Amino acid sequence: MRSSATSYPEGSAAFPHRGLVGIAGLAPHEIMFLLDEAEQWVDLNRHAQKHRDLLSGLTIINAFFENSTRTLLSFEIAGKRLGADVVNMHAATSSVKKGETLLDTAATLNAMHADAIVIRHASSGAVQLIGDKVDCPVLNAGDGQHEHPTQALLDALTIRHAKRAFNGLRVVICGDILHSRVARSNILSLSSLGADIRVCAPPALMPVGIEAMNVAPFHNFDAAIAGADVVMMLRLQNERMQGDFIPSPREYRHLYGLTLDRLSLASPDALVMHPGPMNRGIEIDSNVADMVERSLITLQVEMGVAIRMACLDVLTRRARGVEGWA
Ligand code: NCD
């Protein structure tokens, strides 16, 4: 399934948003538009010569106030492949550690005339706050427990490469749903694309009222995984927990870990996903994570670069005066 199932309007009407703070507020055709835009970059990235001058002269700042490996690297590679000047700001060595407020940091970034700012922050809502204060587009690379829109887009692109259609696709998302911005953004995007979503977590890690997000909640993983087409596993977000949410990692693996035995309860061609970083032997066993024919985990990383190239291109079109976008 490479081409869009939905049609979208021409020019900026296809994606009329100034930035990308979340999947909430995006129409299904806007999500499909970004996925379709990413396909050209999937192709380019598979060639030896991967450089384009599309964003030449533009400055992109990656302001990461929280740790990251793949998201930061993939935004950096995406910006550089499109020819932009990319600068990474690491909070650990910045003035944030000297007590500067978020709004002062925003004003500083703005004064440097960035053309796009990519932000990761531990507080839900921080990206919107900065977005309201700066003149350029902001892209959310994960804000607290709120959203991680490019992760959901790369997950949708991965699913689209591996499966035929989103409509009626049975997806189970299992793990620390409560603290997961990945779960939240994926629920919003996959349900708006027509997937049938089950979420599974221990009672303490299931958000109250999650049914309102159009998902079926489960506490029993064996029941939740039955017949699933896609099994998406999540890490326990220990850094967002105060106190103990699970009895022990061993007990957690026993009840909620993706083992080979458990995967056999899913549909025979079920595919396995994980946003990373994985805690092998806790939420997922190595012999499942490394199954070449079933695991999409490295494909997810590959799709991440293409999706971020698409987002950076689309969101800077207005500033670049691209026809139909100015
Ligand atoms: C996720 C995140 O940071 O929210 N990782 C990622 O972006 N690939 C998930 C996680 O940290 O568990």
Locate the ligand 1 atom nearest the alpha carbon of residue 235 and give its number.
Answer: 12
The residue whose CB lies within 8 Å of the most ligand 1 atoms, and thus the one to mutate among 123, 145, 148, is 148
Report the b/e string of 65-98 with b at 16+ CB within 10 A. Answer: bbebebbbebbbbbbbbbebebeebebeeeebee
pLDDT of residue 227: 98
Beta strands 116-121 and 59-64 are parallel
Task: Specify whether 70 is catalytic.
Answer: yes
- CA-closest candidate to residue 235, choices 151, 306, 312: 151
- Domains of the chain listed by start with CATH number: 15-147+302-320 (3.40.50.1370), 149-296 (3.40.50.1370)
Neighbours of 251 (CB within 10 A): 12
Locate the ligand 1 atom nearest the alpha carbon of residue 180 and give its number.
Answer: 4
> What is the mean pLDDT of each successive set of 10 residues along the chain, which is 326 residues long?
66 97 97 98 98 98 92 98 95 71 90 97 95 97 98 98 93 98 98 97 96 97 98 93 84 97 98 97 98 98 98 98 94
pLDDT of residue 1: 42
pLDDT of residue 2: 44
163 CA to middle of ligand 1, Å? Answer: 23
Distance CA 297, CA 281 (A): 16
276 CA to middle of ligand 1, Å? Answer: 6
pLDDT of residue 93: 66
The residue whose CB lies within 8 Å of the most ligand 1 atoms, and thus the one to mutate among 72, 145, 158, 182, is 182
Beta strands 116-121 and 138-143 are parallel
312 CA to middle of ligand 1, Å? Answer: 20
Task: Specify whether 120 is catalytic.
Answer: yes
Locate the ligand 1 atom nearest the alpha carbon of residue 120 and give its number.
Answer: 3
- Pull the structure tokens for residue 142: 């994960």
The residue whose CB lies within 8 Å of the most ligand 1 atoms, and thus the one to mutate among 69, 71, 139, 234, is 71
**Residues flanking ligand 1, CB < 6 Å:** 70-71, 142, 148, 151, 181-182, 235, 237, 275-276
